[in-house]
Amino acid sequence: MNEDMITIPLERNPSISVNMIPGHYATSNSHRTHYLAVNHLKSSALLAREVARELALPYVSSTFVDTIVCMDETEVIGAYLAEELLKPGLSVKNRGRDINVVTPILNINKKLTFQTDTMKLINDREIILLLSTITGGSTLAAALEALTYYHGNIVGISALLNAYPDQQEHKINSLFVGENLPHYELYRPAACPLCKAGKKIDAIIVRDGYMEANY
């Protein structure tokens, strides 16, 4: 599958790119025509810093931020994002302050929650929610539910990639959106045309990548 990979650079900063690998992919609630690979942006310090610089632009001069909540293994980007928002400058809203970077955990009921010593960084705090890719929207919904429950004040939502921005009720600051992703489609499993055409599933998408199917 990797030999057919398409690399799509960010127009304003070509060092940042998303890789699209075509195939027949499945998650627990959807089937997809491509795997959207952004892990290189989360694991490379140099790329994560570039991503953070781009994601910081909507907030630097306008938004007070107390806490960045990181989903989908975006902690490295989150730390650099905090650094960008704290840089010295007359127009920098958060100069002279501090920003915390935290990650929620799953409780025994598989609901997102926060450890006791980090809840004080959520309650009544100004929060940026940072995600990797938004496709079906389940991770976004779970994060918003948890932050609302713990009385966090969400001042911004950022993502590396938002495949269907028109389907989101919240404004999301994204580097890539659906129109940047040629021929990417997501289907309900029962309505998947690839299944109806008899095409076997190539891989199962998991948290940090995919596992090739053996059937």
Per-residue pLDDT, averaged over 4-32, amounts to 93
3-state secondary structure of 108: coil
What secondary structure does DSSP assign to 18-76, as a single string?
A: EEEEEEEEE-SS-EEEEEEE-HHHHH-HHHHHHHHHHHHTTTTTT---SEEEE-TT-HH
pLDDT score of 215:
56
Q: The domain that contains 87 carries what CATH number?
A: 3.40.50.2020
Q: Which one is predicted more confidently, 91 or 196? A: 196
Copy the structure tokens of residue 96: 């002279």
Residue 118 has pLDDT above 70, yes or no: yes
* 214 band by pLDDT with thresholds 50, 70 and 90: low
Cβ-proximal residues to 86 (8 Å cutoff; 6+ apart), any chain: 92, 94, 95, 97, 98, 99
User: In this predicted model, which residue has the larger pLDDT, 167 or 43?
Assistant: 43
Number of domains in the chain: 1
- Domain containing residue 203: 2-212
pTM: 0.92
